[in-house]
Amino acid sequence: MASSSANSLFGKYDVGRLLGCGAFAKVYYARDINTGHSVAIKVINKHKISHNAQLVMNVKREIDIMRRLRHPYIVKLYEVMATKTKIYFVMEFVKGGELFAKVAKGRLSESQSRRYFQQLVSAIGYCHSHGVFHRDLKPENILIDENGDLKVSDFGLSALTDQIRADGLLHTLCGTPSYVSPEILTKRGYDGAKADIWSCGIILFVMNAGFLPFNDANLMMMYKKIYKGDYRCPKWMSSDLRRLLARLLDTKPETRITVDEIKADPWFRKGFKDSIELETVAKRGKGKSKALNAFDIISFSSGLNLTPLFDGTSSVPSVQSERIAVEESPERVIERVEEIVKDADVKIHKRKDWSLDLIGRNGKDVLEIEVFRLTMKLVVVEVQCSGGGNEFYDELWNNRIRSELVERPDVQVAES
């Protein structure tokens, strides 16, 4: 499919109508010139963020988060491009619009609310297992596709585990007032996962009730209601749904329900079979849930160094990181790393899929290693070191692991 449109972006996309806009960005509908596929392009004006180091950091973090999340209920990021004045996020186009527009037309049935909530919890549980906390969940940031499935979007305010302070909590105040959890209002720190669960509870209430549980024209009065957990369920809600909402909207984060407990709840589990299958991302096939997309492959050689996108705007510190290609199976790479560091003074914390953390004696220096399948015979090993320990990174990665993985002469290429 060819095009000579004056609205062509980099000769790759025909840019069409405006879908939405915010303080620093606009989102447009576009069509891939080569394939004809629809995409959404988020355009960020560099001049509007360049004066603020925090905004630059937020954009970099959003790119880093979105390129690592691959889940059927999360909007996909295909690629990122830039000019001297703008940054372009090319994303999956979700045809059905916002959940907010759907609810604004009238409350949803309990069965429809349940289906969307199951998909939302599946997506958020996946985010949390990958160290990502959304922090701005609301119906405006949830899209519905042409199949009637939910897609979580807008990770601009999201946090990663490296933002957690020594007290084990996040401290940045963010979110939308009606959906913010009471512990965020106290300004004493909060658990990102528990804050997201509270927001999920608000969304579930709104879907089935058609109105907010905590609402007041006076903002301080609304905050008081949130802090006290002062809400009432409409008469049409079932007793099982009311019980689940009471656990989701528990004002004490330490006793608030967890994702695993939500999945065990009787109301939630009804008709959950299909959602479980999708949750494991089985559609992509065994061993493919960590496959790299085109954007990852393009960014591979530079280790996703985003500095060129910003043309030397604000100087933002970054963690040490690198990617290398290895001809081994993902499972064998992880085994090899464990063998290499078995005599090192580090604690090994294995995560889901093909990833692990190597934690230094001080508990602050952490080497995160994650393996992605690139082809049938080739994987990419991504390493990041947080905590600021250059010596830790050099000693563990550069002097031990990297040389062993890259220079082993007897590498056995594993068929999958």
State the catalytic residues.
Answer: 136
Q: Are 73 and 283 in contact (CB under 8 A)?
A: no
How many CA atoms lie less than 13 Å away from 263 in the CB half-sphere?
15
> For residues 348-363, b (16+ Cβ closer than 10 Å) or e, as one string?
eeeeebbbbbbbbeee
Closest CA to 379 of 337, 341, 410, 333: 333
Q: For the chain, percent helix, then strand, then coil, each to nearest 5?
A: 40, 20, 40
Q: Are 38 and 91 in contact (CB under 8 A)?
A: no
Q: Are 97 and 139 in contact (CB under 8 A)?
A: no
DSSP state of 245: H
DSSP state of 107: P
Q: Which helix (H) or strand (E) segment is 185 a member of?
A: helix 182-185
Give backbone dihedrals phi and psi of 291, rounded to 5 degrees, phi first: -75, 145
> Using CA atoms, how far apart are residues 30 and 36, in angstroms rounded to an integer?
9
Degrees, nearest 5: CA angle 319-323-325: 170
Cβ-based burial of 366 (10 A; exposed 0-12, middle 13-18, buried ≥19): buried
Find the Cα–Cα–Cα–Cα dihedral 8, 23, 163, 188, rounded to 10°: -160
